[in-house]
Structure 1
Amino acid sequence: MSILNISAYRFVSLDDLPALRERMLAQCHALALKGTILLAPEGINLFLAAPREAIDAFMEWLRSDTRFAGMQAKESLSDDVPFKRMRVRLKKEIITLRHPTIRPEGGRAPAVDAATLKRWLDQGHDDEGRDVVLLDTRNTYETDVGMFPQAVDYRIASFTELPSVVATDRSRYAEKTIVSYCTGGIRCEKFALYMQDIGMERVFQLEGGILKYFEEVGGAHWQGDCFVFDERGAVDPALSPAPSPQSSPQSGEEDICA
């Protein structure tokens, strides 16, 4: 497989969005990249595909901007480019939650890495003996493709629905360790802060999301594949294109999610 697919995001204040969009679009076209980049005042969220040399050149260019220095990407391979075109879009949020007081740039919620989460699931509790509750922050069309089977899945149609349903179900999480997860980390990072903001305790985000979990520990405790926001439809725990049924947001306006 000769095509490198990357997903990455960073919460960082951006105030030059129109000019930044034009520079990024020009650089992507110069390198013949395809995919989607979302830019908002709160940061950047990107999905790109091309041969590795072109991807590496773009990431080197991107990291030359101090706001994106050290930005890391999750990788997977495919035989073909799973995007038809290159888009750089300006949005109000790089992942829409509609809770403007939640600002990940100001400080992240605690994170748990893949190996630690696997160990907790292996032993049936965290390292302090507490029950672990996994919270899937993704939408129904994603969880239908694959998920941690023991996770809480509220069957939501949009990420913006999640705050209200969790706020009314807080007793489920009392005295337990909560780990929120999503495809690549962006939703669970933002939502872990929301849970802290409403007073929930022992809240963690899964570092790097499902894709990083697959990369580091494979499919342990996972059932199915992982929906991705491109023409592959899904990847399996080996991060290879999967034969899972391809789904898509009904409206066509749903955020892509790293």
Structure 2
Amino acid sequence: MNAPSSPPLRRVGQVTPDDLQRQLKIDQAMRLSILLGVPITCTILMALFDLSHDPLGFGIMIMAGTWMVLNFISARAWQQVSNMAELFAIDPELAEARIATVLKAKPLARQVRLLTWHRLATLRHQQQNHHQTIAVCHSVLSESPRNVEAVSQHLLLMLTEAQLACGDASGAWMSLTELSRRSLSLTHTLQKLTLQTRYLLMVGYDEIALADLHNKVQLAELMPPLQCGAMHVLLYVAASRRGQTTQADWLDERARLLLNEEQHQQILESLSIQTVTPGELM
């Protein structure tokens, strides 16, 4: 006999910017209703049926217990989504199922809900689902800055990359501008440099992309090999389009030391989005 097939893993459907706000409002309403409703109901019942000599004290005790239960629900959800980097790499489908399960849970604390949406943005970015990455990132970034401060830089970087992949030069420019206002870590600074160079190539500002070339190459050498190679390809394209053959050959040679032919070609193909003229950004 064939073994019974396991049920399909949960998936997160298409989301819209309104979904996060709706979930946060439901969480808030449910938490308030439960936190106040359960103790008040219990206190009234205790008083009506004379089941306690101190109904008010009993009600306060019930409220404390209810608060602990609500926090336990959020803490369990936090534990499920807090460390998912390895799961994203090993089993993205299981990661999505876990995110879907947590998103269904109610009520969640605001920070837990926002963290779960950040994890969803990370997953969609890894899956190269650019439109959903943009939708999820915009949703979380629309929250108060103090609520998303810990993940805002990462969200902006993912948002910028998705916007560039979709050919949205105006959106990418606004995201890069916002990143420029932040005090970035070295890792995020290097990621921003690559995205900024991609943007400059998209809008035809090859000369600006090549400005301070020596310093940019030195920064690229701090990146992991694949990202370093990609940065050299970007600069190679800019130099080629400017007719700087010597510089282009040198950059291409360095890129090929870090990339195989397939990787080199994939990066070139990713730059095949139609160039936007500066006038179109106005």
Does the pair score TM above 0.5?
Answer: no
Q: With CA pairs under 8 Å and 6+ residues apart, which has the higher RCO, 1 or 2?
A: 1
Structure number, greater radius of gyration: 2
Give 1 or 2: higher helix fraction: 2
TM-score range relative to shorter protein: under 0.3
TM-score, normalised relative to structure 2: 0.22
